[in-house]
Structure 1
Amino acid sequence: MKLIKTNLLWLGLLTVVILGGCGTNISEMKVEVFETSASGNSLSKRTNFSPSADRTAIRISIQPEEKFQEITGFGGAFTEASAHLLNQMSQDKRDEIMEAYFGESGARYSLTRTHMNSCDFSLSNYSYAEVPGDTELSHFSIEPDLDDLIPMIKSAQEVSKEGFRILASPWTAPPWMKDNNAYVGGKLLPENHNSWALFFSKYIKAYQEQGIPIWGVTVENEPLGNGNNWESMHYTPKEMTDFVRDYLGPKLKTDGFGEVKILGYDQNREHLNEWIDAMYNSEENAQYFDGTAIHWYASTYEVFPDALQYAHKKAPGQHLIQSEACVDAEIPHWQEDAWYWEKEATDWGFDWALEKDKHLHPKYVPVYRYARDIIGCLNNWVDGWIDWNMVLDRQGGPNWFKNWCVAPVIVDPEQNQVYYTPLFYTLSHFSRYIRPGAYRVGFEVSESDLEVTAAENPDGSLIVVLFNSTEQSRSYSLEIDDSLFSGDISGQAIQTLVVKRTSLIKKQDG
């Protein structure tokens, strides 16, 4: 793979001098530019620009003083499928992939997700509490995770210099706790509310004993269901809110895990408003919630900004985290970068959505979908964005349900080969450069067909991400305070600009 170089070469150095009073203000803006494009760039450093000298240049003005949400992080999910595949690769390839995702020369993932019990991207159905009627969970064990999943997480911990947060989600309670006694569908029996809350506590403790701290949990992956296909358990907004208020929140607090974040909902954005209303309709209901998790599967192009804005206004200061996204219902295209830049992908809804929703599921360009969604989310108060499986095989699995999907990294264990798709580099444009603790900042752009977001990192560096979906290269001028940088972005491309500013005051001679 092309690892991301860390020996930084600063580009576009511009010094603006302002005379006034008895001193000279010298303001410097140093800009480093990275680009991924359909023409072949893969997070490549741009060293030559051909900016336009006329009015066709797009004006981008960054306002660092205008701050929005604090960024929690970016990343992907640890799944049994990904971990199992890694264990089939050679040690040097495993190390390479972990470095690519978590190392200083790679994507530097800072926010991740994993599953409690099995999910569709497991090798089979399993639970940590298999014994029916064991309401005290005396036989609870995370042994199913010890061969693949936990070793993958520990490998990432060894590589990550700054560390990363883990959000854990159950797809279902053990079948014996449910009204249908099955892994798929059904609801939690009222008499098992205490046992299911205890399950979360035991899971957090067991992982903690493995040296893996759990930062947060979602109450249930896709509580509206998934068509009764794979592991699931159903809640209404009121049922989930009541469970958190009366059982899960108090149990985690009593057991010393009150700092673990609890995120509600965890499904598609088109139903977000009704869940937000239930969770935050009173202080009593809201007291144990730390935010809301969302998915992107309601549309291949629509970000649902109104719903995201509504969630923020209803619960300002609470987390709003995109917890799952992927190119679903597709078998990966192996060593074929061009496909990821073409409008050929379809999703589940292309074939199976209700007729009234078909318009939300047209064919799409995979890279565009990722870039637009992340930018749209950031610009509408989302503070964390998590991809789905980190690693899948050439079939888009393994997956016990044969629910094939695409991951940013595809492997062929038989040939011991790794393919870093353009999606890997697209995600890296955000995860590598926008760090936890950054704040999204304000901006203005003169033309809407160049999509923009910007953030200020804790070290003071400004990160500006540009996305050009047109086939023509575009010139732009980047303005920050009293400094100006002129550049251009290729057609069908994403750019990340890393901006460092210095301001010096020197006394005049005499």
Structure 2
Amino acid sequence: MKSLGYIMACLFLGFMVSCNQEKQNKTLKVEVYETSASGNKLTKRQDFETADSSAILKINPEKKYQTITGFGGSFTESSAYLLNKLSKANRKKVLDAYFSEDGARYSLTRTHIASCDFSLNNYTYAPDEGDLELTNFSIEEDREDLIPMIKDAMATSKDGFKIIASPWTAPPWMKDNKKYVGGKLLPEFYDAFALYFNKYLEAYKAEGIDIWGITPVNEPHGNGNNWESMHFNPAEETDFVQNHLGPKLEAEGKRDVKILGYDQNRAGLKEWVDVMYATEASSKYFDGTAIHWYESTYEVFPVALQYAHQKAPNKFLIETEGCVDSEVPKWKDDAWYWKKEATDWGWDWAAEDEKYLHPKYAPVNRYARDIIGCLNNWVDGWVDWNMVLDRQGGPNWFENWCVAPVIVDPQADEVYFTPLYYVMAHFSKYIRPGAKVIHIDNSDKSLLVTAVENPNQSLALVVFNPETKPKHYTLELNGNLVNLQINPQALQTIVIDKY
């Protein structure tokens, strides 16, 4: 027969085990925001059905990866021109949606140096042939539309944002073909083109606009000689940066302006980073690598991204441009953005052996899976292309129609926030500059997931369910759990304030 003391000890130990289990299995306090094909638009959700079995998403904040630079979109002349066509109320509505505390809180942006395809016409800041000192350099062309949009965005943003600036071409007279489209920068004008960048940075600073980073040229492989372009191979661009652009900016006290090399599709990364980061001298002035997504409508190219990171682990790796290209936007048709109907340039134009890279796709899926895939493969910033386009997908002087997250009808003074706007906000609003990507174990590979720890120590997870059925999942953090559910074809951001 057991003694009373023995029984009491057992009861006490049982009580302690029960208390410890309760302590270890607290319910995580989370806020969940969802955008879905069923109509949610960053909607706060609290109505979660339970299920007997679910995926386990185990968060490990101790295992950290890259530091986030930011998320956002691009200031183009086309977008700025359209905003000026809207009423003051609608213009403010769009800028607030992108930059205010109640909006997407964009933190990383891009703009073009002189004209691009999303300009109203071809122009350069230095039109005078042979003017090596660029004495008549002028940004006058930007004063009516582009500069006011940037400055109004700056006034709207509480935390501010970084700007990356890219030329699509040097002034035509510096090139071997003397044209805006195609051709190469002549070596005798390398110093003049470096001066061109310095003049641009100073002119914009005089307007109160600080440029955080630059790329030597947009898409150095060219664009099929369709709109503004200029070709560099890796050795030529590295020579330009190493011996001309970098030293010029350093001499002018602008070493803090980041120089991001390449600025084109991910499949070409290895060839470029092998040359850019070949030696200490070649690497010196490159602060990072810029990439685009147009190589494929579904492939993230993780091997290429991992290689680029390993080649230069302490430098930036930023996606500077992506959009639904070669499509006219669908007006006030949310369902289209969730359907597998969009095509890209490669649907018609890719070589036969590369057609598989360009199937039909759902625009929401492409954005969500690409951003998550990038974050899970060392990319630290992701920038969308035009912030605003019209119902045709322009204006664009070459008629290279594309889709933007916000579509406007300036004649009717109407604004349409497509589902893509909300997808971008899922990342930009809740994942802040300085956040660290953290490890997460995911037992259901049909769910796409990424996670970060923000500078304020809150955690943010983004979960994408591309399937046509709901998914149940359990978040686990330090032994604490919460059971959640995501709708079919839905994107969620989960915020954990304290852990």
Q: Same fold (TM over 0.5)?
A: yes
Partner of 2:425: 428
Partner of 1:39: 38
Partner of 2:89: 92
- The question of 1:379 aligning with 2:370 is answered no
Partner of 1:403: 400
- The question of 1:367 aligning with 2:340 is answered no
Shift of 1:119: 0.1
Question: In the aligned structure 1, how far is the partner of 2:170 from the partner of 2:219?
Answer: 13
Counterpart secondary structure, 1:246? helix
Question: In the aligned structure 2, how far is the partner of 1:103 from the partner of 1:60?
Answer: 32
Question: In the aligned structure 1, how far is the partner of 2:386 from the partner of 2:497?
Answer: 34
Partner of 2:55: 58
Point out the more displaced range, 68-77 or 42-51: 42-51
Partner of 1:342: 339
- Aligned partner of 1:40: which letter? G
Render the CA deviation track for 1:192-214: whole Å, top value 9, x for unaligned: 11100000011011111111000
Aligned 8 A contact 1:237 1:274 in 2: yes
Counterpart among 99, 102, 106 of residue 102 in structure 1: 99
Question: In the aligned structure 1, how far is the partner of 2:460 from the partner of 2:63?
Answer: 14
- Aligned partner of 2:185: which letter? L
- The question of 1:283 aligning with 2:317 is answered no
Render the CA deviation track for 1:10-58: whole Å, top value 9, x for unaligned: xxxxxxx9957xxx89967320000000000011110211021x12x11
Question: In the aligned structure 2, how far is the partner of 1:360 from the partner of 1:28?
Answer: 43
- The question of 1:121 aligning with 2:118 is answered yes
Counterpart among 155, 159, 167 of residue 162 in structure 1: 159
* Structure 1 pair 131–442 and aligned structure 2 pair: CA distance change class (3 A): same
Segments of 5+ residues of structure 1 without an aligned counterpart are: 1-16, 503-510
Partner of 1:8: none
Aligned 8 A contact 1:29 1:500 in 2: no
Counterpart secondary structure, 2:32? strand
Question: In the aligned structure 1, how far is the partner of 2:135 from the partner of 2:228?
Answer: 23
- The question of 1:218 aligning with 2:215 is answered yes
Percent identity between the aligned chains?
63
Partner of 1:183: 180
What are the within-5 Å matches in structure 2 for residues 224-239 of structure 1? 224-239=221-236
- The question of 1:473 aligning with 2:470 is answered yes
Render the CA deviation track for 1:162-201: whole Å, top value 9, x for unaligned: 0000000000001001000000000011111110000001
Partner of 1:327: 324
Counterpart secondary structure, 1:30? coil
Render the CA deviation track for 1:432-483: whole Å, top value 9, x for unaligned: 0000000000000101000100000000100010000110001110001121
- Aligned partner of 1:29: which letter? L
Aligned 8 A contact 1:27 1:501 in 2: no
Aligned 8 A contact 2:25 2:479 in 1: no
* Structure 1 pair 27–460 and aligned structure 2 pair: CA distance change class (3 A): farther
Identify, as 1 or 2, the structure richer in helix: 2
Render the CA deviation track for 1:354-405: whole Å, top value 9, x for unaligned: 1111110000000000000000000000000000000000000000000000
- Aligned partner of 2:259: which letter? I
Aligned 8 A contact 1:18 1:26 in 2: no
Question: In the aligned structure 2, how far is the partner of 1:478 from the partner of 1:299?
Answer: 32
Aligned 8 A contact 2:214 2:258 in 1: yes
Counterpart secondary structure, 2:497? strand
Question: In the aligned structure 1, how far is the partner of 2:190 from the partner of 2:466?
Answer: 49
Pair member with larger Rg: 2
Question: In the aligned structure 2, how far is the partner of 1:271 from the partner of 1:237?
Answer: 10
Counterpart secondary structure, 2:160? coil
Question: In the aligned structure 2, how far is the partner of 1:162 from the partner of 1:334?
Answer: 32
Counterpart secondary structure, 2:28? strand
Question: In the aligned structure 1, how far is the partner of 2:44 from the partner of 2:271?
Answer: 45
Aligned 8 A contact 1:18 1:25 in 2: no
Aligned 8 A contact 2:318 2:382 in 1: yes
Render the CA deviation track for 1:102-157: whole Å, top value 9, x for unaligned: 00110000000000010000000000001111110000011000000000000100
Partner of 2:47: 48
Counterpart secondary structure, 1:501? coil
- Aligned partner of 1:452: which letter? V
Question: In the aligned structure 2, how far is the partner of 1:120 from the partner of 1:394?
Answer: 17
Identify, as 1 or 2, the structure richer in strand: 1
Counterpart secondary structure, 2:278? coil
Question: In the aligned structure 2, how far is the partner of 1:366 from the partner of 1:61?
Answer: 29
Question: In the aligned structure 2, how far is the partner of 1:103 from the partner of 1:18?
Answer: 47
Aligned 8 A contact 1:375 1:452 in 2: yes
Counterpart among 146, 151, 155 of residue 148 in structure 2: 151
- Aligned partner of 1:304: which letter? F
Counterpart secondary structure, 1:363? coil
Aligned 8 A contact 1:29 1:501 in 2: no
Partner of 1:172: 169
Shift of 1:412: 0.1
* Structure 1 pair 37–271 and aligned structure 2 pair: CA distance change class (3 A): same
Counterpart secondary structure, 1:440? strand
Question: In the aligned structure 2, how far is the partner of 1:383 from the partner of 1:219?
Answer: 20
Question: In the aligned structure 2, how far is the partner of 1:168 from the partner of 1:370?
Answer: 22
Question: In the aligned structure 1, how far is the partner of 2:50 from the partner of 2:319?
Answer: 35
Counterpart secondary structure, 1:182? coil
TM-score w.r.t. the length of structure 2 is: 0.95
Aligned 8 A contact 2:25 2:481 in 1: no
* Structure 1 pair 28–342 and aligned structure 2 pair: CA distance change class (3 A): closer
* Structure 1 pair 500–29 and aligned structure 2 pair: CA distance change class (3 A): farther
Question: In the aligned structure 1, how far is the partner of 2:18 from the partner of 2:181?
Answer: 67
TM-score w.r.t. the length of structure 1 is: 0.93
Render the CA deviation track for 1:190-246: whole Å, top value 9, x for unaligned: 111110000001101111111100000011100000000000000000000010000
Counterpart secondary structure, 2:198? helix
Q: Once superposed, what is the RMSD of the aligned Cα atoms?
A: 1.2
Partner of 2:349: 352
Segments of 5+ residues of structure 2 without an aligned counterpart are: 1-16
Render the CA deviation track for 1:263-305: whole Å, top value 9, x for unaligned: 0000001111000000001000000000000000000000000
Aligned 8 A contact 1:457 1:463 in 2: yes
Aligned 8 A contact 1:371 1:467 in 2: yes
Shift of 1:501: 2.0
- Aligned partner of 1:495: which letter? Q
Partner of 2:7: none
- Aligned partner of 1:227: which letter? G
Counterpart secondary structure, 1:29? coil
